[in-house]
């Protein structure tokens, strides 16, 4: 069985980085995983001031817009670290919100796929040939939560 998710208001919407689940990491509160992820693109760079702007963004969409602006160069190690940073945020989200943790655990061994029509890295893309890194991270978080539960 494969579980596809994308929009927050659709089935399995809690798997989205845009879902309204506050996380606390590095001594700061972040409204969503998306806020945390986008902000950490700029840690240690001349654009580090954007981290506070992204953290304060009123919606995950606005946080993403700031973080995706091509005028702002991400940290030089971003491509090497982005999956690790995403994993930490997703872990925090599902480790501390027990209601959605149960939703994730209830997927049992199903394959989880971010059904993004545009993202071939985090999702599967319109033709479903993408690498689905977010789905892989969710499955990894699920497996690690099961280890703790036993």
Q: What is the pLDDT of residues 33-48, one digit of tens each?
A: 999 999 999 999 999 9
Q: Report strand pairing: 28-30 vs 23-25.
A: antiparallel
17: CATH: 1.10.357.40
Is residue 60, in this structure, part of any structural domain at all?
A: yes
Contact criterion met (CB below 8 Å) for 58 and 42? no
Does 91 fall in a domain?
Answer: yes
What pLDDT does 26 receive?
Answer: 83
> Per DSSP, what are the bridge partners of residue 114?
5
Q: Which domain holds residue 13?
A: 2-127+137-149
Which tokens in the block code for residue 129? 């040939």
- 94 domain-assigned: yes
- What are 69-96's pLDDT values in tens digits? 999 999 999 999 999 999 999 999 999 9
Q: Give domain status of residue 132, yes or no.
A: no
Which residue numbers in the chain have pLDDT < 50? none
Specify the pairing of strand 28-30 against strand 111-114: unpaired
pLDDT at 10: 97
- DSSP character at residue 38: H
Which DSSP category does 94 fall into? H
- Tally the domains of the chain: 1
């Amino acid at each position: 069985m494969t579980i596809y998710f994308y929009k927050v208001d659709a089935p399995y919407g809690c798997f989205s980085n845009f879902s309204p689940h506050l996380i606390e990491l590095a001594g700061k509160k972040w409204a969503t995983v998306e806020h945390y992820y986008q902000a950490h693109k700029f840690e240690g760079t001349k654009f580090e001031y954007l981290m506070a702007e992204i953290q304060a963004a009123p919606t995950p969409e606005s946080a993403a817009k700031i973080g995706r602006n091509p005028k702002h160069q991400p940290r030089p190690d971003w491509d090497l670290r982005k999956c690790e940073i995403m994993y930490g945020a997703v872990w925090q989200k599902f480790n501390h919100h027990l209601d959605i943790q149960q939703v994730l655990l209830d997927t049992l061994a199903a394959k989880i796929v971010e059904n993004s029509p545009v993202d071939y890295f985090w999702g599967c893309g319109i033709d479903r040939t993408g690498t689905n890194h977010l789905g892989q991270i969710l499955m990894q978080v699920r497996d690690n939560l099961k280890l703790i539960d036993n």
